[in-house]
Structure 1
Amino acid sequence: MEQTALFTIFGGTGDLAKRKLYPSLFRLFKKGSLDYRFAVIGTARREWTDDYYREVVKESIQELNPTSDEAFAFASHFYYLSHDVNDAAHYNELRELSNTLDEKYKLKGNRLYYLAMSPQFFGTIVSHLKDQSVLTDTGFNRLVIEKPFGSDLKTATILNEQITTAFAEEDIFRIDHYLGKEMVQNIAVIRFANNIFESLWNNRYIENVQVTFAESLGVEDRGGYYENSGALRDMVQNHILQVVALLAMEVPTSFSDKSIRQEKIKVLEAIRRYDKTEVMKNFTRGQYAAGSLDDKEFIAYRDEPNVASDSNVETFVAGKFLIDNFRWSGVPFYIRTGKRMTEKGTRINIVFKQVPVNVFNFNNESDNNVQLAEQNVLTIYIQPTEGFSLMLNGKQIGQGFATEPVKLDFRQSEEITVNSPEAYEKLLLDALHGDGTNFSHWDEVRNSWEIVDRIRVAWEHFIPSFPNYTAGTMGPNEAFDLLKADGARWIWRPEQWYKQRNKLDY
């Protein structure tokens, strides 16, 4: 179904716009979700013309193999306006161009403003949009903003107060691109559409939950950003806590953005707020040193561009969340995320408890084949592969009752994965529909910052011993000791494969 709107992209010359937004809009255009009745205004400080801007847009979609006619038709809807976000007069120009395009393309006053630039300008832009009457009163006005949403609870609250002077909460779409990923959205289906899992999805049957967001890359050219962020703010406050909320929430009364949001907020409110002593017991951090993996050499974080030589910024976080409600009391949610880890991968492991009486756990001297059965584990693969697996126990062929793990495994084919909608494509379409299901509500953001701020403040009182893990490994020893103290272990250990083959030495 065709959607009608004027997109105004602040930061239209930037990397995000070229890598994600323009290709995603083209996919929507090619599928018919956008047709004739849409237009895009790109704004930035650079002095570009419409023609030059359209060439940039065409170049950004080349990997999608458009025909020349498709590329021309798509790019013809793009207009450029050189713009200083601090200059009120420029918003008058924006208003005039917006009204002209609204009339030309019959857009019914529907406006979507995408702030693809530094968060320090969000409040300024929103204030001017309101004060210079750029907002329309005949259609919808929706605001899409990128993370980070503040740097702590205080700054996030100030930012939220600024943008809500012009936009209602239901018209604010805070992007978390992980919420647009297929398998993240699949978490609810796996849970609520399969009684075999939902009936066991509680502290009676689940021993622990493990969430891993691993990056094999270092900080690359983002050293300057990472020095002001670190893994805690960059990953835990948004992506990881959003996934934890989806895993732990109660069944919503309906599959609507309002009902799902209510249940996610309840989970975030129930996550235990640690004091400083509890933070040091339940969370650990790390920073990568130089290392090698599979004959590839990696430099230390402190040697990366735009990183201080004595930096104490964390590139790795591991920790344990506890959720104080009836369903999850006593079940640890272990999380870890880091740069320069062994493999790139985002996955969830649901570790089920052993059966109360396991007849295979006795020591039978007459049958040396009898061994301890493994725990059942449900794994949800989010990226780079998509799918899920269930680890069960079966009997080895032959005499006795020796058990062996049996994996029931489903992975999406490469063809389906490649051709499935990209996260930004789905999120842009959701914003056009006014569907906030896969975006962060302010109450979610507020609770997440409350949780993360306690960890950050506790860490400020202790100078870490960095670097403390070798590039190419799965983090510092303390991350493994964290689970070992509870009698648990990380399920995903890709470094063991490399170590067994002498491709990783540490």
Structure 2
Amino acid sequence: MMTNGHAQKKPDPCSFIIFGVTGDLAHRLVIPALYNLAATNLLPDRFCIVGVARGGMSNEELNASLMKGLRQFATRPVDETVAKRLFECVTAVEADPKDPDSFDKMASELKEREAARGTGGNRLFYLATPPGAFLPITKQLARTGMLAENGYWRRIVIEKPFGTDLDSARHLNAELLKLVDEHQIYRIDHYLGKETVQNILVLRFANGMFEPIWNRNHIDHIQITVDEKLGVGHRGSFYDSTGALRDMVPNHLFQLMSLVAMEPPIRFDAHSVRTEKANVLAAIQLQSEQEALHNSVRGQYRGGNIGDTVIEDYCKTTDVKPGSATETYAALKLIIDNWRWAGVPFYLRTGKALAAKRTEIAIKFKQAPFAMFRDTPIDQLSQNYLVISTEPTEGIELQFNTKVPGPTIDIDGVEMKFRYKDYFKAEPSTGYETLIYDCMIGDNILFQRADSVEAGWQAVQPFLDAWKKAGGAGLQPYKAGCEGPEAANALLTRDGRSWRKLS
């Protein structure tokens, strides 16, 4: 959706087909994002929404359900005229992969709807479903010809998690690519829809002050943090079979890492950018299981208070197995084994029920020589960080040293802060607007390619294997509302470094 100041083009006429339209994801994020696109006139002039549910539902019932969800989860005041225009094109259809005949009926109904709305044959299938449904749905769509590109484009959007380990990711990729071409698959990660995340490439490659120093000669280490204050809540069943590592690292954290660490692409297009991102993930040094245990920490939260909210022990959460060894916190030390980053550690951490909700990338620059200040009362210089933050506030912060006013040489650290909301006055968004728009115009620059997905799982597989063998041994408890297990601090202190404080 980056436009270099040019007007954004309208997408081609199309049908937007949502599987799992009655679910939480569709109501909280997908529909509010479509509304925001409609409000900014970025939907096609000829457009329709087709909601697919396994149970029967009338058009009126679906329309009312989506309108109720929009009013609840909209990121801006709802304009009734815009909402009515969006939902007047809603159609409900029934389809279940366990009933192949229902997909034959769906194919017929979809053609009728396309003819009535004049949307042509362009189709965007959005799978807002549990991961186990990705392949069965795609197989039925392919069998009935609904994914065949005969003069029209046909695209399929797949949410995370894309696989649960390296073998399952490879299997899913291989099976999908038997049914559709790679250019038709949009593996979505909503973190990449955030303005600050997209801005990483501009910050790095459009500024002469940063591009020359973005390497091992000037950078000491990089920290990537994606922490949440909330506990697992009602997602106990899903989370207990997934854990913090699977849930966050191969997708969210590695996407941030690849943007920070990638080489400059030869041009700003999907193939070039995605190739460089995949190369970075492929260059992550593979660790033995023993090294993986040494270079990681996994924790599980115990009961505590976060503000006025009481958080119970993870193992007391509904649908969590008693005595579960699933981690709710993961911290890793990784090395990218290439010329630019040789010897520069990347520290990644993510967890639930922590002191603050924060997503940030902190680039720590090497310390300047202290020699000329040795005869002053200064004990040490403040650390130099460039911090790219997406939550709770999107922006960029630069920390550096300056002289304190007065007759003596006193030095203190100061901060320069840029906040998107202050400078650009942008409307609040879900983070999905850019990604959905890009799907409709066929720009997959922000979406993962098969080789990138597999490279990410390959890098975390040693940790998965080592933790599985260890069972509950090594699982570090931490109190809800703190900054994570104490062992995570040792991961950095043994290298003479420390985590940035969350609050």
Instruction: Indicate the TM-score class for this superposition, using the shorter chain for normalisation.
Output: over 0.9
- Does residue 180 of structure 1 match 2:193? yes
1:58 aligns with 2:67: yes
Partner of residue 445, structure 1: 453
Q: Retained in 1: the 8 A contact 2:14–2:44?
A: no
Contact kept in structure 2, 1:381 and 1:388, CA below 8 Å? yes
1:25 matched residue in structure 2 = 34
Q: Is the 8 A contact 2:358 2:502 kept in 1?
A: no
Corresponding residue number in structure 2 for 1:227? 240
Note if contact 1:386-1:417 (Cα within 8 Å) is conserved in structure 2: no
> Which aligned runs of 4 or more in structure 1 are off by greater than 4 angstroms?
293-296, 414-418
Counterpart residue number, 1:306: 319
Instruction: Report what 2:4 is aligned to.
Output: none
CA contact (8 A) 1:92 1:134 kept: no
Seen in structure 2, the aligned counterparts of structure 1 residues 493 and 37 have a Cα distance that, compared at 3 Å, is closer
- What per-residue deviation string (whole Å, max 9, x for no partner) do you get for residues 284-311 of structure 1? 1100111234464321111111112201
Structure 1: how far apart are the matches of 2:310 and 2:143? 54
Residue 410 of structure 2 corresponds to which residue in structure 1? 402
- Residue matched to 1:371: 379
Q: Which amino acid aligns with 2:225?
A: T
Q: Is the Cα contact below 8 Å between 1:108 and 1:138 reproduced in 2? A: no
- Superposed displacement of residue 155, structure 1: 1.3
1:209: how far off? 0.3
Which residue matches 1:500? none
Structure 2 residue matching 1:287: 3-state secondary structure: strand
Alignment check: 8 A CA contact 2:298 2:476 kept: no
In 2: Cα distance, 1:201 partner to 1:35 partner: 40
Match of 1:167 in 2: 180
Deviation at 1:97, TM superposition (A): 1.2
Supply the distance in 2 between the matched residues of 1:5 and 1:150 (Cα, whole angstroms): 29
**In the aligned structure 1, how far is the partner of 2:30 from the partner of 2:423?**
23
Matched, 1:102 2:138: no
- Larger mean CA deviation between 286-295 and 171-180 belongs to 286-295
CA distance in 1, matches of 2:158, 2:296: 30
For 2:50, the equivalent position in structure 1 comes to 41
After the TM superposition, which of the residue ranges 328-337 and 300-309 deviates more from structure 2? 300-309
Matched, 1:471 2:480: yes
For residues 247-326 of structure 1, the aligned pairs below 5 Å read 247-294=260-307, 296-326=309-339
Q: Residue 341 of structure 1: CA displacement? A: 0.7
Amino acid at match of 1:59: K
- Is the 1:110–1:141 Cα contact (8 Å) retained in structure 2? yes
Corresponding residue of 1:84: 96
Structure 1 pair 104–201 and aligned structure 2 pair: CA distance change class (3 A): same
Stretch of structure 1 that moved more, 228-237 or 67-76 = 67-76
Say if 2:159 is the partner of 1:150: no
Q: 1:324 Cα shift? A: 0.7
Match of 2:20 in 1: 11
Alpha-carbon distance in structure 1 between the residues aligned to 2:132 and 2:306: 39
Q: Is the Cα contact below 8 Å between 2:357 and 2:392 reproduced in 1?
A: yes
Identity %: 37
User: Retained in 1: the 8 A contact 2:147–2:155?
Assistant: no
CA displacement at 1:465 relative to structure 2: 4.7
Structural RMSD (CA): 1.7
Report the CA distance between 1:421 and its aligned residue.
Answer: 4.2
Greater CA drift, 61-70 or 11-20: 61-70
Which residue in the other structure is 1:112 paired with? Answer: 124
Equivalent position amino acid for 1:134 in 2: M
The answer for unaligned runs of 5 or more in structure 2 is 1-8
Distance in 2, matches of 1:476 and 1:117, equals 33
After TM superposition, the structure 1 = structure 2 runs for residues 308-457 of structure 1, keeping only pairs within 5 Å, are 308-360=321-373, 362=374, 364=375, 369-413=377-421, 419-457=427-465
1:340-376 per-position Cα deviation (integer Å, ceiling 9, x unaligned): 110001011110001245422x2x4xx5x33311221
